[in-house]
Structure formats: structure tokens, C-alpha cells
Structure 1
């Protein structure tokens, strides 16, 4: 029989999830660790959740894991704090700020990328300067990127004040995530940057921050491909909502289990 103790609608889940979270400081740290772990492991990090948590909390290197992976985790955690601080202070998005976050994200794992005519540095948050192809997909030409990013961020800054329901906030965050990935503005780190921008929109309205589960990576990539091929955000938005509902339901289930132990 289905478990009827866990609510099923988004407003009910959010209400229950908020009530279950009682220790703000502890939950905040756990949330940042959780987001950093899932976002980096999707990109290939070899650290476990426990190792990721210990590295962030204690800052001590893990001897049997690649330093590149560990640097990527530290950088992602700092970039996450950076963009969430912007959201907390309701700072509007702009291209310079986005590139500053990108520079933080790639500080230890980035570097120079050379093209036929020049080079750019992902450690500085530079926009890509060549290639209009990502795999088999044509993306915005490099010379059009500044204007395209400005348009995207202007749209977010406008729409973020017009949202009235959690569903609308999450829809905008998931669409924003997809749109940045579609532009593919950086030489590296576009996936994590898209998820950081998604979390900015969510945190701007003080909603729980969503993620992509490790075991859902293939479905995540498939949903992205479906949205690109069908020229609609519906597949990726629906997928991201399913990940969000799972996150909220699991948080409520853990809270219920802890209460049973009291």
C-alpha cells in the first residue's frame, strides 16, 4: 500500500519540509554540502558524500583522491556561497557577476584554452571565444555571447519579481538552468554554472534548493537532449520537478523516521 503519511502536492511538501527543518545553521551547512556533492559528482568527481562533507567542513585533503577533484569541490562550495549571497541580498544578475562566479568555480580546475587565433582562461571566468558546436548541437556564436547573456539575465531580473507561487519560481529556475546550458557560454563548468544559477532563483525566494540525483544522471542528460531536439523546455522542466519532489519527500521521510526514534 502507498505511504499516505507523505503529502503529494508541491505546496504540501514544501510546508512539511519547512516544518521538519528546525536547526537553521546545521541545515544550511548540510544543504551546501549536499548541493556541492551532487553537482560535482555528476561532473565526474570521485569523492563520496562523506568525503565531500569532511573536505568542506575540515579542509583537510583526502590522500587517496585526486587533488583536481578536491579542488573542484572546494571551488564549487565557494561559488555556491557566492551566488546564494547575491540571492540573499537580492542583487540583480549581470554578466560581470556571472563571470566572477564562474571564475570562483574554476579557480583550481580551470586554465588556459587555446583557439586558432587566441586563448581564454576559464580561471578568470572568460567567455568562450570559438566553437559554435557542442557535440552535435550548434550553439550561439562566440561574438554573440555577451548580448545573449545580457538578454538572459535581464529576463531573469524582470521575471523574478513577477512570481507568485512556488511552482512559478521553480519553473523559472529550471528554465534558466536550461537556457544557460543552451548558450554554453564558458569553456568549462557550464553544467555546474547552470545549476548555480538555478539555485540563485530558488534562494531569491527562500525556497529549498534542488539538485540532480547521481543515479538520475542519464535521465537528466536525456531530458536535456529531448528539450533541445523538441525545442521546448517541457522535458527538462518536468524532469527537474520530479527530482525536486523526490528531494522534498525524502526529507520528510527522514524527519518522520527520526521522530519515530524519539
Structure 2
């Protein structure tokens, strides 16, 4: 019997959450938050950073941005951690491109995605049942348990058949889902994650790969991908355990919905706060422009950096990047241009020095 039936009935669904996710997504899409330069890229980096952090990575979002964009390795982080992040970022780029093509899900596609996730950190294994390579996305040929004292996952001999059934199910569900029903679409993606991670097809990388498939389906259905934050790791894992033990996947679905709603609302609130600050800075600049024609020639992107420096002459490029949500290379280019225009100068080193306001 199917132990993981998608439960979208009145009895099991949390209707309040379903209403809240529609409201949160609509507010998010109409807020203008996604119109920011490089926002989609930074959002992806956030997904990657949190997903690997759940698996033990200590690389931060800023360190990942420098690693991905500038090729600058994170000091004090192991090579394995950094390669884990690079592999997952590449896997996401591929999966999101594929999502736009409305793909058919097959065991081979799932193995391909897992191979990308485990490209540099996978290993070869030899067991009584045979030889397999996790860096190639091959299904496990050994049994695994769900942590210390946890229940064992599906026997390895049953994995291929279970994955076949999973793919048949998900293709049917995607084909008939009403894409205008936002809550049902999100719940389907969370159910996909729950079912696949419960099968546990691989010896390693199951969490990263199944969250990747979840996000891929969300993109395919026109949704904003959800982020499982590292701060919520305990609740996230417990929700999966409780769903398995109670044979009720809506436990995990509700947890994922709650946190995604909170994430969307937080990003809108943060954007609106920044927009208020930028509006205030524009007012300041307009006042200055009326008194000094030389300021008129500064682009708004430079005005924002200039105001940040005016407010804090000891601000670093990394802090400018975080405050204004721009890349570090953009921050450095802006300060270089401001120096050339004669608005600022630098005193001391990049880390311990300060900016001198010339105008």
C-alpha cells in the first residue's frame, strides 16, 4: 500500500497556512523585491548556503558569493566544504534551466542530479551486493538507518522499484496540478521532497538532492523556491521524523509552509525598510543637488554608496555589500569612482582604515 499518500483534504490541511502562503507570495511578487540587481543570483546563493549548512558546511553566504563570483576561497574552511557548495550551485543552475523545459522525471534524471550534487565529494563503495559510486549518482547497494537509534530506511534491493513508482507518481501529479492553486503546488513540492528523502536512494547527499528536486519543481510550477534555513534544522528534521512515524506527511508540509511564509514576509519587510532608507537618501541628495551642481553628475548607485560612507566612514566593502545588497566588486567599483570624482579618499588599510569625506 502507498504509505505516503498526498493528503490535501479538509481534514488534514491547515487552511490558515494555505491562505497565508497565497497572501505572502502575492505580497512578495508585487513588492518589487525581485527587481533588485542580481537578486535572483543572491537568492540562489542563499538556498545553496543553507542547504549545505544543514549537512555540516560552515561556509557563509558572503564567503560563497566571493567563491562563486570571484573565485576567492574562504579562509579557514575545508576544501570539501567549499567543493560541496560549488557542486550544489552548479547542480541548481542546471536544474533550474531544466525546470523551464517541463521535464519528465525518471530515475536517470534523478541520478544525474545527484551526480552533480556529489561530483567532487562523492565516493566509491564496495559491498556484498556490488560496487557503486555516489559521485555518479548511483543508487546505494547497502542498507542505511535514520541516525542513531532511528528506523532503517527502505532496503536497498527495493530502491529501484520505489524510485520508478515515485517518478510515475510525480509526473502524473504535475500533469494534473492546478498551477493557480498556490498552496497545493507548494504542498506537492514538499510531498515530493518527503517521499524521495524517505526512499533515501543514495548513500550520501540525499538531503541536498531531494531539496534540489523540491526547488526544481517549485520553479517548474512558477513558484518562488523555498529555503530550509540552517537555523531551522532541528525542527525540519523532526518534522520529517514525525511525518514518517505518524504516517502523515502534512506534518512536514505545514512546517515547510510556515517557514517559507516567514521567509517571504521577512524579505519583503527588509526590502521595504531599505527602500525607505534609499528614499531618504534620495531626499538628502536632492537637497544637496540644489546647493551644489557638482553632485548632480553622480549616478544613484554612487549616491547610495556615498551616503553609506557618510553615515559610517569606517564602513568596509563587505559591509557596504551587505547594507546595499550589492556585490563586493560593485562596492569596490563605486568607491573607486567616488575617489576619482574627488568625493572621498582612503586613509589606512582596507580592513582597519577609514574613509575621508572630501565633499
Common fold by TM > 0.5 = yes
Greater RCO (CA < 8 Å, at least 6 residues apart): 1
Which residue of the partner structure matches residue 4 of structure 1? none
Q: Please point out which of 154, 177, 191 is paired with 1:140.
A: 154
Deviation track 1:115-143 (CA, whole Å, cap 9, x = no partner) reads: 23432110010100111533321322222
Say whether the 8 Å CA contact 1:113–1:187 is kept in structure 2: no
Which residue of the partner structure matches residue 40 of structure 1? 52
Say whether the 8 Å CA contact 1:84–1:200 is kept in structure 2: yes
* Shift of residue 85, structure 1, vs aligned partner: 1.5
Structure-2 separation of matches of 1:176 and 1:10:
18
Equivalent residue of 2:175, what SS? coil
Structure-2 separation of matches of 1:130 and 1:62:
35
* Shift of residue 63, structure 1, vs aligned partner: 3.4
Q: Output aligned runs, 1:1-262, within 5 Å.
A: 9-19=20-30, 20-23=32-35, 26-131=38-143, 133-135=145-147, 136-164=150-178, 165-261=181-277, 262=279
* Shift of residue 27, structure 1, vs aligned partner: 2.0
Deviation track 1:4-39 (CA, whole Å, cap 9, x = no partner) reads: xxxx82222111211223437612201210110110
Q: Output the TM-score relative to the length of structure 1.
A: 0.93
Matched positions, count:
255
Structure 2 unaligned residues grouped into runs of 5+: 1-18, 280-359
When the two chains are superposed, the root-mean-square deviation of aligned CA atoms in Å is: 1.5
* Shift of residue 53, structure 1, vs aligned partner: 1.7
Structure 1 unaligned residues grouped into runs of 5+: 1-7
Structure possessing the higher radius of gyration over alpha carbons = 2
Structure-1 separation of matches of 2:134 and 2:144:
17
More displaced 10-residue stretch of structure 1: 102-111 or 24-33: 24-33
Equivalent residue of 2:176, what SS? coil
